[in-house]
Amino acid sequence: MARGTSRAQPNSDMKRMLVAVFDNEAKAFDGFRNLQVLDEEDVVAVIASRLIAKDLDGSIRVTNSYDVLPEGTMGGTAVGTLIGLFGGPVGLAIGAAGGFVVGATADFGRTHVVNDFVNEVTAALVPGKSAVVAEIDEEATGPVDARMKSLGGSVFRRPLSDVVDSDYQREVASVEARLARIKARIHESLDHAKAALRHPTRDQSEQGD
C-alpha cells in the first residue's frame, strides 16, 4: 500500500479513530512505537497519534506525539479533542494549553462524538493507565490489533465519520492528496538523478576524461 499510489485518494471507510489502553507508560510507548513501525511499513497510515497518561487526579498528560500532516493543518484536531473528552474539562484544558487541540472550542461544537465510544475508553483508561490515541487509515484491523494486544493493550476504534464531520474529512483528504503528489515528484526526481548517474551524457563523459 504505497502512499504515493493508493494513499492519494484515501477511502473514508478505512479511516478510523483508534485507542489502545495499556497498564503503564512503558507498554503504551511500545504500542506508540509499533504503530509508527506499521506506518513506516505501509501496513497502515497514521495521520496523527498521541501517547497519553492519566494521572491519579484524573488529568491527562500528552507525553509523545506524531503527525504526518504539516503543522497548522487539522491533522491533530480530532485526536486532541478526543483526548480532552477522555480527561473531562480538565483534560481538554490541558490539551489546549499544550497546543494539542487546534481551536478546541469550535471543533468540540461541531464534532460528532459517539458517546458509547468515549464511555468505553474512559472506563478502561482509569488513573494510572496510559493509552495511544490515533487517527489512522487501515485496510484491515488485524495488523494493529495483533501488535497492540501482544503488548497487553485493549483496543477500541470507531470510523472517523462517527467522530468528526465531513468538513474535517475533506480538509484532511485534500492535504493527504497534496502530500502524495509531493512525494511522487520527489521519487521521480530521485529516479531521474539515479538514471543520470548510471548513464552520463557525452559532455559529462568528456569532462570525466
Q: What is the pLDDT of residues 116-155, one digit of tens each?
A: 888 899 999 999 999 999 999 999 999 999 999 999 999 9
Task: Provide the mean pLDDT of the chain.
Answer: 74
pLDDT greater than 60 at residue 185 = yes
Bridge partners, 16 (sequence order): 136, 159
Confidence of residue 93 (pLDDT cuts 50, 70, 90): very low
Q: How many CB atoms neighbour CB 91 within 10 A?
A: 23
Integer CA distances (angstroms), 90 to 19, 49, 155, in order: 20, 20, 24
Give the pLDDT score at 92.
Answer: 47
Give the pLDDT score at 8.
Answer: 38
Give the pLDDT score at 85.
Answer: 77
pLDDT greater than 90 at residue 90 = no
Amino acid 90 reads V
Most confident of 7-16, 78-87, 135-144, 177-186: 135-144
What is the rounded CA–CA span in Å between residue 66 and residue 2?
19
Confidence of residue 178 (pLDDT cuts 50, 70, 90): low
End-to-end CA distance of the chain: 44
Burial class (CB in 10 A: 0-12, 13-18, 19+), 106: exposed
pLDDT greater than 70 at residue 61 = yes
Asked if residue 7 lies in contact with residue 112, where contact means CB atoms within 8 angstroms, the answer is: no
| For residues 108-119, average pLDDT | 59
| For residues 104-115, average pLDDT | 44
Helix (H) or strand (E) holding 159: strand 154-159
Give the pLDDT score at 58.
Answer: 83
**Which one-letter DSSP state was computed for residue 208?**
H
pLDDT greater than 70 at residue 175 = no
* Lowest-confidence pick of 63-67, 93-97, 136-140: 93-97
The proportion of the chain whose per-residue pLDDT surpasses 90, expressed as a percent, equals 33
At 135, phi and psi to the nearest 5? Answer: -105, 120
What is the rounded CA–CA span in Å between residue 135 and residue 20?
12
**Which one-letter DSSP state was computed for residue 61?**
E
Give the pLDDT score at 60.
Answer: 86
